[in-house]
Amino acid sequence: MNSDETQALGILLVGGLAIFGTIAAAVLIARAAKPVIDRVAAVDIDELARGFGGGLADIARRHRGLVEGG
């Protein structure tokens, strides 16, 4: 094996490790973010609107009625 082949193998090895590391980091970040995403998705619009005042709760109910055809 000459130095060019050794250098090419080194580049392939480092590139492969970089790609693997990037994918592993993305998976870890997605796993860490999943509980937060689940909590945000579970927020009830009426509860959220009541937290900001009665006027927003009325707007949310009217919007829901329009969307659901009521």
Q: What domain range includes position 37?
A: 3-68
Q: Supply the Cα-derived Rg of the chain in whole angstroms.
A: 26
User: pLDDT tens track of the chain, all 70 residues?
Assistant: 788 899 999 999 999 999 999 999 999 998 888 888 777 777 666 666 666 666 666 777 777 666 555 4
Structure tokens at 42: 């579970």
Structure tokens at 70: 């009521």
Cβ contacts of 19 within 8 Å, gap of 6 or more: none
Confirm whether pTM is higher than 0.85: no
Number of domains in the chain: 1
